[in-house]
Amino acid sequence: MSKIFLLEGEVKLSREDRIRMLRNFNKLRQTIQTIEECQDLWLSDIANLQKLHCDMHQLLEFSSDDGEYWKDWILSENKPKEDKTDGKT
């Protein structure tokens, strides 16, 4: 199990997860290269970016603090706890 050390902790990734991220990293690199060279963006590039976003969310445990996808995301452990009595934080 590989570890990524952060300022306040660590994230553990299995070899399979690292390979998954490596594949996405290479797709990201290819997408950036296409944009730079052709000044164009293919629909498959957009799909690759969405896949990278989803994988990063799952593997690195990122979360929206209130369910709104368009806001900046946070670390899942920093997500405010919901008050069970009234549904508010």
Domain segments of the chain as ranges: 2-62
- Looking at per-residue pLDDT, the higher value among 9 and 75 belongs to 75
Greatest extent of the chain over all pairs of C-alpha atoms, in Å: 55
The predicted pLDDT at position 18 comes to 84
As a whole number, mean pLDDT of residues 72-82 equals 80
User: Whole-angstrom Cα distance, residue 22 to residue 33?
Assistant: 16
Share of the chain above pLDDT 70, in %: 82
The answer for 63, left when phi > 0, alpha when psi is -120 to 50, beta otherwise, is beta
The predicted pLDDT at position 73 comes to 82
User: Whole-angstrom Cα distance, residue 79 to residue 82?
Assistant: 9
* Residue 89 in this model has a pLDDT that exceeds 60: no
The predicted pLDDT at position 78 comes to 81
Q: For 44-54, how does the pLDDT look when each residue is reduced to its tens digit (9 = 90+)?
A: 888 988 988 88
Rg (CA), the chain: 17
